Amino acid sequence: MGLFSRDSNPRGSQPHGAGQTPDAQLNAVVHGHVQGVGFRYWTKGEATPLGLTGYAKNLDDGTVEVLAQGTREACQQLLDALNSGNTAGRVDHVDAEIVEPGETRGGFETL
């Protein structure tokens, strides 16, 4: 079993990886105490094992914008994690939709 075998991914989703086109995109704005508490890095830590690409970005109004691309299942898993109550900081609510992906992104960034 190699370092990147299926069993090494605790969530069971395969990353969509380089050269593969994502079939879904999560667009979310997370409200609450989510800036200055490591929330963007927590989000990256949740998204990366799911094989998602995109970003988590602080917005001027104190919210965090999350854009994630990958499989529809992986996008839903990240949305479930954002709503789980087990995040960095405190999430009051998440405005989100899962849509067809826009321009394909590489990696997952914290902006």
Is 27 among the residues known to form the active site?
no
Question: Can you tell me the distance from the alpha carbon of 37 to that of 35, in angstroms, rounded to the nearest whole number?
Answer: 5
Tokens representing residue 43 in the block:
């989000």
Q: Which of 9, 58, 83, 105 is catalytic?
A: 58
Tally of CB atoms within 10 A around 30: 25
Is 40 among the residues known to form the active site?
yes
**Residues catalogued as catalytic:** 40, 58
